[in-house]
């Protein structure tokens, strides 16, 4: 938050000059790393779209290239996550009977939700992640989860507490 | 962002959520939970904060349970550490190289096989299938012979996921990590080792690691445990305030960490001085900090805590009372 918001004409100039000064550099930077020209151009475009939503940061920018590349990197990691979730989703529905298959027009919104959950759970140990998902998605009780995972009920309680805290912290990430 | 309730209230809220969701809770448990929530507005605030996650998870319930579960189990598998690092590896050149070229211990880059500079993180695949990751400002040697696999941690921090060693002719060779204080034997594991001043920190993520001390029997450390090892002893750690191997995914995850400790931890990843004024050193912080965006994280602190960031030249940063 800036103390006194700069006027919008100024912002427009800032973003415009940021684009003309650094867009070419960013595309090159990404191309060297992705070894893929199309994706690089695409990602650079997304990066500037994101920047348009953060005009107050543009005005006080000290290291524009470091900032742009860190945004691009964040977007790339998001894309990577989304792609993996989508692959896993396609694998998961591959063997469903036709009538249980989610409608294709639902797919985007479902993937959005699943990606968000995936991001929330990121970093949890496999057992903790599985226990939490069995509880919340399958509605299993702790006894059943304990049997499924071959651990004690008190371990399951610990897993739950770990997962709940983890998700809370992930939401409150800086 | 700090929530407006005390950490122990969060602990209590988590306790009640765990108890009421067991699938076998007695009615009294629900009544007691209701009473707890009603007892104090802060209790209810903490409870509601936890419900945000629950709401997100419920949105997946339009799917057949199996699909959501398989997808989320599968995505974790597909997104292996290796692939994630390939993406994160971009950061090595980006964030680290722009900073000042202060080499604190130049001898290391000549002496050690595997070296990282301040702010740099790198990952290597060793011949036996082992994955070796180096955190910021670290150095290690890899010495494999026909009989054993040995990694010597000279400085800094490593994360190791041991490989199958399937190419070895005489069966799997023992895997050792040596630090200044200890010899660690990995038994089919993933673990984090950090050389601190006068002591070694060990965090086991999977499998078992045996700590061999100069005297006495080896100490077997199970997955999920953390130990501090000095010259003579190995002590289990219970209340760690950050997740030791978060760096391997590019983040520092703090749980009610002292601001002083957080500043010290973050300063490992950047050049110059990062200090915390004693007046605010005891403030507690929870959150996830991107290691490639530390200055951004510092700015975030000034929004969530009564502090501000004071900078003098590029080299000197202080966290002081707002």
| CB-closest option in A65, A76, A137 to B65 | A137
Distance from CA of A16 to the nearest CA of B (A): 23
Q: Provide CATH code, domain B81-237.
A: 2.60.120.1440
pLDDT of residue B296: 87
Specify the residue for token string 């069966």. B171
Domain ranges, ordered by start, for chain B: 7-78, 81-237, 250-321
Asked if residue A28 is part of any domain, the answer here is yes
A97 or A108, which is more confident: A108
Task: Give mean pLDDT, residues A12-33.
Answer: 83
Distance from CA of B300 to the nearest CA of A (A): 6
Closest Cα to residue B146, out of B122, B114, B175, B170? Answer: B170
- Residue pLDDT, tens place only, A60-94: 777 888 888 888 888 887 777 887 787 778 777 76
Asked if residue A15 is part of any domain, the answer here is yes
- Residue pLDDT, tens place only, A140-163: 999 999 999 999 999 999 999 999
Does the beta-carbon distance from A172 to B79 stay under 8 Å? no
Asked if residue A140 is part of any domain, the answer here is no
Q: Which residues of B touch A71 (CB under 8 A)?
A: none
B231 close to B213: Cβ distance less than 8 angstroms = no
Q: Which residues of B touch A89 (CB under 8 A)?
A: 67, 71, 74
Suggest the residue from B71, B86, B159, B238 to mutate for an interface test with chain A (most A CBs closer than 10 A).
Answer: B71
B116 close to B122: Cβ distance less than 8 angstroms = yes
Element (H, E) at B115: strand B114-115
How many domains does chain A fold into? Answer: 1
Phi-psi region of B25 (alpha: psi -120 to 50; beta: other; left: phi over 0): beta
A98 shares contact with chain B (CB less than 8 Å): no
pLDDT of residue B114: 83
Where in B147-271 does DSSP place strands (E)? 149-161, 175-178, 183-196, 199-212, 219-222, 226-229, 234-237, 251-258
Asked if residue A106 is part of any domain, the answer here is no
Does the beta-carbon distance from B90 to A121 stay under 8 Å? no
What domain range is A22 assigned to?
A: 1-96
pLDDT of residue B46: 93
pLDDT of residue B41: 92
Q: Average model confidence (pLDDT) for chain A?
A: 81
Asked if residue A23 is part of any domain, the answer here is yes
pLDDT of residue A10: 53
Q: Which residues of A touch B72 (CB under 8 A)?
A: 85, 88, 114, 117-118, 121, 129, 133, 137
Does the beta-carbon distance from A89 to B67 stay under 8 Å? yes
Does the beta-carbon distance from B63 to A110 stay under 8 Å? yes
- Residue pLDDT, tens place only, A113-141: 899 999 899 889 889 999 999 999 988 99
Distances (CA, A) of B313 to B293, B310, B316: 18, 10, 6
pLDDT of residue A98: 65
**Helix, strand, or coil (residue B228):** strand
Asked if residue A104 is part of any domain, the answer here is no
pLDDT band at A6 (very low <50, low <70, confident <90, very high): very low
| CA angle, B30 then B36 then B37, to 5° | 90
Q: Which residues of B touch A99 (CB under 8 A)?
A: none
Distance from CA of B60 to the nearest CA of A (A): 7
pLDDT of residue A173: 63
Does the beta-carbon distance from A168 to B49 stay under 8 Å? yes
Tell me the CATH architecture of domain B250-321: 3-Layer(bab) Sandwich (3.55)
pLDDT of residue B227: 94
pLDDT of residue B45: 92
Does the beta-carbon distance from B253 to A123 stay under 8 Å? yes
pLDDT of residue A144: 95
Asked if residue A50 is part of any domain, the answer here is yes
- The residues of chain B scoring below 70 in pLDDT are 1-3, 78-112, 239, 313-314
CATH number of the domain at A36, please: 1.10.1740
A69 shares contact with chain B (CB less than 8 Å): yes
Q: What is the ipTM of this complex?
A: 0.76
A138 shares contact with chain B (CB less than 8 Å): yes
């Amino acid at each position: 938050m800036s103390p006194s918001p700069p006027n919008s004409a100024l912002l427009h100039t800032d973003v415009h000059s940021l684009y003309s000064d650094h867009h070419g550099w960013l595309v090159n930077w990404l191309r060297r790393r992705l070894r893929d020209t199309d994706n690089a151009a695409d990602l650079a475009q997304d990066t500037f779209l994101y920047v348009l939503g953060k005009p107050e940061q543009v005005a006080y920018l000290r290291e524009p290239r470091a900032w742009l590349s860190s945004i691009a990197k964040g977007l790339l990691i998001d894309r990577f996550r989304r792609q993996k979730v989508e692959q896993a989703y396609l694998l998961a529905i591959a063997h469903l009977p036709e009538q249980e298959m989610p409608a294709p027009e639902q797919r985007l919104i479902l993937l959005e939700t699943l990606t968000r959950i995936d991001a929330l759970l990121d970093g949890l140990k496999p057992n903790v992640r599985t226990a939490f998902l069995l509880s919340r998605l399958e509605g299993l009780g702790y006894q059943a989860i304990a049997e499924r995972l071959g651990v004690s009920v008190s371990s399951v309680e610990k897993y739950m507490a770990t997962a709940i805290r983890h998700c809370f912290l992930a939401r409150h990430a800086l | 962002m700090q929530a407006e309730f005390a950490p122990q209230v969060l602990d209590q809220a988590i306790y009640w959520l765990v108890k009421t969701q067991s699938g076998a809770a007695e009615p009294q448990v629900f009544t007691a939970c209701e009473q707890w929530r009603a007892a104090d507005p802060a209790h209810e605030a903490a409870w509601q904060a936890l419900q945000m996650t629950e709401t997100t998870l419920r949105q997946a319930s339009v799917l057949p349970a199996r699909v959501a579960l398989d997808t989320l189990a599968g995505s974790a598998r597909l997104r292996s550490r290796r692939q994630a690092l390939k993406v994160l590896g971009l950061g090595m050149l980006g964030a680290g190289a722009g900073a000042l070229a202060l080499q604190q211990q130049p001898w290391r880059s000549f002496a050690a096989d595997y070296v990282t500079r301040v702010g740099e993180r790198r990952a290597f695949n060793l011949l036996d299938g082992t994955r070796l990751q180096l955190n910021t400002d670290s150095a290690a040697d890899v010495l494999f012979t026909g009989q054993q696999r040995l990694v010597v941690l000279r400085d800094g921090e490593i994360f190791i996921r041991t490989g199958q060693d399937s190419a070895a002719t005489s069966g799997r060779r023992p895997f050792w990590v040596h630090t200044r204080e200890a010899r660690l034997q990995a038994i089919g594991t993933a673990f984090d080792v950090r050389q601190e001043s006068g002591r070694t920190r060990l965090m086991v993520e999977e499998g078992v690691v045996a700590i061999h001390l100069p005297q006495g029997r080896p100490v077997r450390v199970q997955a999920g445990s953390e130990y501090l090892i000095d010259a003579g002893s190995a002590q289990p750690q219970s209340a760690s305030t950050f997740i030791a191997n978060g760096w391997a995914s590019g983040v520092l995850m703090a749980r009610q960490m002292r601001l002083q400790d957080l500043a010290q931890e973050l300063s490992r990843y950047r050049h110059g001085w990062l200090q915390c004024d004693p007046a605010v050193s005891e403030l507690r912080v929870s959150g996830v900090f991107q290691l490639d965006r530390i200055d951004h994280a510092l700015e975030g602190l000034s929004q969530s805590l009564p502090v501000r960031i004071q900078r003098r030249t590029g080299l000197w940063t202080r966290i002081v009372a707002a």
